[in-house]
Amino acid sequence: MKNHFSTTLKTVLIGTIVVFLTSLFTANAQTICNNEINTQGDYTYEFWKDYGNGCMVLGDEGAFSVEWSDISNMLAKKGLRPGSWDNIITYAADFQPHGNSYLCAYGWTANPLVEYYIIESWGSWRPPGEQGFMGTINSDGGTYEIFKTRRIVGSEIYIQYWSIRLSKRTSGTITVGNHFRAWEDLDMPMGDLIEVTFCVEAYQSNGTADIYSMFISNAPPEPTLTPTEYENGDVDGNGVIDIIDALLIAKYYVGIITPGMHWDLADTNCDKIIDIIDALNVARYSVDLISYLPDCT
């Protein structure tokens, strides 16, 4: 079921959702060009570089972007401290490195001191090289190769754990506990978690990365009612597909999740991803700009 509107009201409503979506991506924007650790809402953020040009721009919730040039080494990240084995990172990014860079889940443990990476995409070089292969893990729809390496910085020696996805991607979910358990099964013990973050690291390179959606949860949202009771697109289950449903989907996409909604009804183009296209489809349908939303359940 949908509402019917005049042409003028259609224009107003579409304009409303465009303004709303723009505000989601620009809220709380703050540019950081010097080394800094701080908090924003529920997340800790950190920007660090040794030398070169680079800045991090904070978005709403877990979102951020970063741009760098002639950098030696740089990290820009947002996440939870200390984090948890139950954490699930859901992200979407536009990752454009020119040279060596990683898009990854990242963090440290203490006792033992370990730096860990779960690499989703990379630039010109696939880390960590040929040494230290330990095995593989299947997680979140992909296969990862596991490596254990040792790094020496000055007089400090510490261990690095790596899970490297065989095929690059720039959106999806990372169930960090799957990797932690796989590492321990391979005699790579995890210590006390210091952090679980989503990170862009760059080394002797140039590039940009826009992590336009990122949130960390402990479980994926689940529908509360049988999907066949409602039409696809009616995520609030009130029997009407309207602009509110579109706004709820847009908020979900950037990590602002309203409990109790029918998220199984939010995929409006059957690509098995809930994204901004689904929100716009519902908005267009609600004002008669399109006449059909497929049943993707």
Q: Could you say which of 67, 201, 222, 231 is catalytic?
A: 201
Is 231 among the catalytic positions?
A: no
Which residue's entry shows tokens 């679980």?
A: 196
Single out the residue of 237, 233, 243 nearest to residue 286, CA to CA. 243
**Phi-psi sector, 145: left (phi>0), alpha (psi -120 to 50), beta:** beta
Q: Considering 115, 130, 145, 231, which one is annotated as catalytic?
A: 115
The sign one gets for the Cα dihedral 200, 156, 87, 164 is positive
Residue 156 is among the residues annotated as catalytic for this protein = no
Would you state the structure tokens that stand for residue 49, as one six-digit string? 């570089």
Q: Please, what's the b/e burial string for 249-269 (b: 16 or more CB within 10 A of its CB; e: otherwise)?
A: bbbbbbbebeeebbbbbbbbe
Q: Are 218 and 208 in contact (CB under 8 A)?
A: no
Q: CA 292 → CA 71, 229, 245, 281, distances in Å?
A: 49, 18, 15, 9
CA distances from 69 to 65, 101, 127, 141, 178 (A): 14, 12, 20, 33, 34
Active site residues: 115, 201
